[in-house]
Structure 1
């Protein structure tokens, strides 16, 4: 785990909610019988996120993630899994970068934006592969 000083303000990047999701991530783990599995990485930062989704019909029944990286990427993955559980694949495909930034509740620059959206990229790419196999 990255060593983070909670008093670090910098760009206001490590808010309490982000630190909480980073230290105590929601939905961390794997799903044995997942319909969707996909991994993405951010070579600039070293972040890696793997997502596992269990889809029933067109709805996400369960989602889990594993990975390593900065507090932003890991907290965003934790928050995203909470956000999309129970949503349809179409609703998830319509999520945008701004939605992730709003979940985080902070302003971030371009480099950190790549960290923040890594889990969303993994989910969307996984859905794309899943849907292409169904056709």
Structure 2
């Protein structure tokens, strides 16, 4: 597949998650709620997660923002469901490295749709958009651990 075709496919995946977000909504019984925003461009998110026996049982988000931030939140909530908290944090660090343009080793992870966001690394101003929901997740787990 040529680079142009791959780029077009990735754009389609991002737009699909933006127009048809997965896990958009609120949890009635979430264990943690985190509000974050990106003042640079106005993106905002509220991430809610339910953790049972050290695993993410459910994750939902509400928010407003650009296609990159909302698609990334959709992809992230899909990817972390069922993962142990530690694995979700590892995935977040892997994603952060990918956004910084670093070579990554997926290891045990299947990035799936998340790979569509790798082109964002070429646009430094958009990296914060893509990482907003991931940083919210990390912040939530850190706050929960500090309690």
> Normalized against structure 1, the TM-score is what?
0.83
Residues 58-80 of structure 1 show CA distances to partners (whole Å, capped at 9, x for unaligned) of 10000000000000000000000
Residues 4-46 of structure 1 show CA distances to partners (whole Å, capped at 9, x for unaligned) of xxxxxxx97x701111100000000011111010011000010
**1:131 Cα shift?**
1.3
Which residue does 2:104 correspond to in 1?
Answer: none
Question: What's the secondary structure of 1:128's corresponding residue?
Answer: helix
Judging changes above 3 Å, is the alpha-carbon distance between structure 1 residues 52 and 75 closer, same or farther for their aligned structure 2 residues?
same
Choose from 12, 16, 19 the match for 2:15.
Answer: 19
Residues 53-100 of structure 1 show CA distances to partners (whole Å, capped at 9, x for unaligned) of 000021000000000000000000000000000001101111221456
> Normalized against structure 2, the TM-score is what?
0.77
Question: What's the secondary structure of 1:37's corresponding residue?
Answer: strand
**Greater helix percent: which structure?**
2
Moved over 6 A (4+): none
- Where do 5+ consecutive residues of structure 2 fail to align? 1-6, 101-110
